[in-house]
Amino acid sequence: SLEVTGTTFVSDTPSTTGQAISFDGNGRVRITHSPSLAINDNLTVSFWMKAVQGQPGGYTRPMSKGGSPGWEFQQAGAGNELDYRVDTSAGANQVRGNMAGVFDNNWHHISITLSSAGQGISYVDGTAIATQTFSFGAGFSNSADFTIGSRNNGGNSYDGIIDDVAIFDQVL
């Protein structure tokens, strides 16, 4: 099922057509977990974001499949950097990414790839920013809901626009 709160559709998109979802710092889109979201070995996540400078709080979450194990994107404290976080049986709160300068009121294409070899690569606007390792353990699959605009529990809400979210069960 789908739960949508505190969001609106807007025509401000990175392309010339369609609509994106605008979050007001209190909203979220929550998609109930399904087997297609139980990705454990290899993962690619891709989306466009236009984040407001001055988010509602530190560690804002543009999206989350959080839990332990799990993964999510988070603002680095109250700064202008976006990181991704991986939680596995071999290590919790493994923060990587170093995607600086993306909370600036401009559109940015964000992607990460995570592999069962314990390698994560982060991209901003088509450029690889960092290749880093993480402890894979038994993987990052979980039964948590997939949430856009906040953590799964509704905390750490995001203020800005998100468009064209895609999740793949392979490294692209």
**pLDDT in the model for residue 105:** 96
Radius of gyration of the chain (CA): 15
Per-residue model confidence as pLDDT tens for the chain (172 residues): 899 999 999 999 998 889 999 999 999 999 999 999 999 999 999 999 999 998 888 899 999 998 889 999 999 888 899 999 999 999 888 999 889 999 999 999 999 999 999 999 999 999 999 999 999 999 989 999 999 999 988 899 999 999 999 999 999 9
Contact 17, 30 (CB under 8 A): no
The 10 Å Cβ neighbour count of residue 137 is 15
Residue with tokens 């064209």: 164
The pTM of the whole model exceeds 0.75: yes
CB within 8 Å of 72: residues ≥ 6 apart: 61, 63, 64, 65, 66, 84, 85, 151
Tokens of 161: 């626009």
3-state secondary structure of 89: coil
Q: How many Å apart are CA 109 and CA 99, to the nearest integer?
A: 11
Q: How many Å apart are CA 116 and CA 60, to the nearest integer?
A: 27
